[in-house]
Chain A
Amino acid sequence: MNEKLKNHITMLFENAPKTRKAYEMKEELLANSQEKYQDLLSAGISDEDAYKNVISSIGDVSILFSGLEEYTNNGYESESAIKKRALIKTIAIGLYIFSGVVFITLGMISDIVPGRIDWSEIGLVIMIMIDIVPTCMLVYIAGLKPKYLKADDTVVEEFKQWQSTNNNSKEIRRAISSIIWTLTLVLYFTISFLTGAWYITWVLFILAGCVQSIVGLLFSLKK
């Protein structure tokens, strides 16, 4: 192994993107160069001349750099991270639906089994408690999304970083939206069952719409 060759090639790749592809190409170039160097030595050529020959036959590697970018390595997510988030989201939705079923079921028990215990209230409490889990899961996911770190100080990189933080806050907004709607549903059913005033409690949904807009406004003001 010729150290000089290795150092020279490492130097050539200094400005290459720091990706796996670039690393592999460097490895390939190194292997080919070493073998050529050995061949020249075996043919009786001197160290110096062999080295110069190999170096001069490399050409300009910078033309290759733009093709060595890869998306998985620059703040974007790996496939497994994407799958993980999708799984957590699915489970969260499932839990929301499950909590609703529990609530309704327990409410039905109240009608069927006579007694002094108000099952629907217990159902409500249980539903809210179950809902804590999926809500936390959604907020957790929103936080998991990786931040995009600028690769350099160009305008393109800055834009990508801005775009990524923008997407992040969108995720957080969506999480908050789902929390608002869950709470609205809970309140709607609670109040309706307690007061029986179904003819008016639907107003709650309009209220929820208002709250959503306010949240949206707050987010835009925050920027």
Chain B
Amino acid sequence: MIKITTPLTIEKVQSLKAGDEVLLTGTLYTSRDAGHKRMMEQLDKGEQLPFNIEESIIYYVGPSPAKEGEVIGSAGPTTSYRMDSFTPRLLDLGLKGMIGKGYRSKEVIASMIKNKAVYFGAVGGAAALIANCIKSSKIIAYEELGPEALRKLYVEDFPVIVVIDILGDNIYETEKEKYRIVQ
């Protein structure tokens, strides 16, 4: 288990290899479909993004509503490929980590290699377990998007696995081959 604390500096991303099991502590920003579309609109208009994107990590999630006294509802990852078309632009601006689940496109992987960024997989459907790692949550933009609002999270020991590292090594490709029986 590798313990990493944000911000995701260049030294930290360079130390991570595909397949590494990581416990993440620090700040994450949540965004998914509608939120990414909003960010693109803001960038197109020449506006600043509502958070400092450099060395940051975005977590693709739309949490369920928080119960009374809870920080956040259940909060597992959503499928990342839907954000692929928006991602290279954010990587160019300094985004260094993404947490989600599922395949990324060739264009995203190329941009990750170029910009030295890492893609982490969180366990889809372990949403209540993941919520326990989230110690604070605050909506900082796009509140009207409800579950898709931009939230700033503080997490402790959030378990993730490095799916694609800065060299483009991808466990979705490499691991399957080890267990695949051709029939």
**Do chains A and B interact in one complex?**
no
Footprint of B on A, CB under 8 Å?
none
